[in-house]
Amino acid sequence: MAAVSVDQKRALLSVTDKSRLVEMGRALIGHGYQLIASGGTSAMLKENDVPVTGVGELTGYPEIFGGRVKTLHPIVHGGILGPSREAFEETLEMGIGPIDIVVVNLYQFTEAVAAGADEAATVEKIDIGGPTLLRAAAKNFKRVTVVSDPAYYDELLTELESGTGETGLEFRRRMAAATFRLAERYNNAIATWFEDVTESRPGLELRYGENPHQGASLVLPPAQGGEPALSAIGVTQHGGKELSYNNIVDLIAGVKLIGDFDDPCCAVLKHTNPCGFGLGTGVEGLERALKCDPVSAFGGVFAFNAEVDLATAEILAKRFLEIIVAPSYTDEALARLTKKKNVRVLTVNVADFLAKTSGRSRSWGQLELRQDEDTGFPELAEWKLAAGPEPDAATRTALEMVWKVCKHGKSNGIVLGDLTATLGLGFGQMSRVDSTELAVLKAGNQDLDLKGCVAASDGFFPFPDGVEKLAEAGARAIIAPGGSIRDDEVAARAGELGVTLILTGRRHFNH
């Protein structure tokens, strides 16, 4: 075994992607680091006259099982996981000294799968030592620098230059986060491959994906019994067909909408867009939700944030719909609704569901986008009157309602409403004027009077034309985030039309 010292700075290198390896090795030596490397990494450095100690020389053990075991040794992992340089005083006699930088990248598993490698070759590309080294180094970020991708080499070199051979804590912390994300993606790729090979899927098998020819599954945390189940996210299914991918997406959209209201309410959604919303318990809330667009409600999702009674269930039972979700049902209501064999009747613990579905992500193969949940409406306490009369209490209540509903439709979004319900909704159009015209059209189709209504827009008005169309339709107050270079022009036009214009300074886009 090679001699070790508490004072000697050391870097461990074990890379599959050997681009810039020699450059990195020489730079580390220039900053006073002794190099340790495994297998092919060590060989390449030696071929280029870069001084390096092989892992086998360090541990006193050769690689075994064709290279499957080489870095999995206490001398290596002790050197990475030791909490401080002082702590190594008691391990030097065992040959364990500090390792300060870990530069590792993983076997190219996804590339092997993409190239159509057979099972044996693919299994050999499942890296064990690499992820273990990376996770150990990332865990010990307060002392150890971990670099998991050549893309970070320039940043590492800059840190070493500016820090006279040392790295900063924030850099180490950031590299640790990147390493754990890499490990997550790597493990997901391996799990997906195994699922494809065994034709198994995690969690619950769904009826189908967005279309019948697409398979889909729902990944859930384990319930009390250990098996993934809807109860793990606060949902119980009482009857109806199995859930499909679209059902789950609509369910999430519906519960998030009703979760934004403390007062009893009912929301009707179609393809995640609200097509009706009403305040009130039972029949009252349902009828208000249905009045502005009963046609689009056909085959929709009906979400309640208060108990559903028999009278409400009788109305629902006469309609064609996909999902009914509520915190609870009376015994009579549940018995009535579960007679409809195709309707999915769900109970939801709203608070539990919202907590466990907080945050949003979308994925396309290996690319995943994540964002925080869009929660709360602090802007409603600080909005700015940009034009027109100050809204009275009733108008404020109506504006708050349409503003909250507007958050839950696809951009561009326009919502028209009164004190208790929506009157017209326009979502997902390519321009805000198109969404405005659609919302007015929906109200007109039901002969709803828009005179004196209020309106919400999920984005700013780039020109006065949207405000003009809303005023022409009968809107007396409009709430929007503002932010256009023409806000003053839009506000001036609203003032000329005698329309109250509220700007919140905060938007709720939903793409």
Structure tokens at 84: 């401080």
CA 207/CA 245 separation, integer angstroms: 7
For 288-336, the DSSP string reads HHHSS-TTTTTTEEEEESS-B-HHHHHHHHTS-EEEEEES-B-HHHHHH
- Catalytic site residue from 18, 271, 291, 356: 271
Between strands 235-239 and 344-348, the pairing is antiparallel
Catalytic annotation on 356? no
Residues 159 and 169: beta-carbon distance below 8 Å: no
Q: Which helix (H) or strand (E) holds 501?
A: strand 500-503
User: Are 476 and 453 spatial neighbours (Cβ–Cβ below 8 Å)?
Assistant: yes
Distances (CA, A) of 484 to 263, 475, 481, 490, 505: 33, 21, 9, 9, 11
Q: Which one of 139, 238, 291, 356 is the catalytic residue?
A: 139
Crossing angle of helices 74-81 and 129-139, in 10° steps, is 30
Structure tokens at 154: 């320039």
Tokens of 348: 């939801």
User: What residue spans of 330-454 are helical by DSSP H?
Assistant: 331-337, 350-356, 393-406, 432-445
- Tokens 């189908």 correspond to what residue? 208
404 is catalytic: no
Structure-block tokens of residue 77: 């992992």
Q: Which of 440, 488, 442 is nearest to 462 (CA)?
A: 488
DSSP annotation of 269:
E
**According to DSSP H, which parts of 31-168 are helical?**
39-47, 55-59, 74-81, 109-114, 119-124, 129-139, 153-162
Contacts of 394 (CB under 8 A, 6+ apart): 419
The set of residues, in sequence order, having a beta carbon less than 8 Å from that of 195 and lying 6+ positions away, is: 201, 202
Report CA-CA distances (Å) from 60 to 73, 74, 312, 425. 10, 12, 77, 73
The secondary structure of residue 152, as a DSSP letter, is G
Is the separation of the CB atoms in 51 and 35 below 8 Å?
yes
Minimal CA–CA distance to 490: which of 459, 511, 468? Answer: 468
CA separation, residue 508 to residues 205, 263, 274, 332 (Å): 32, 21, 15, 39
Catalytic residues: 139, 271
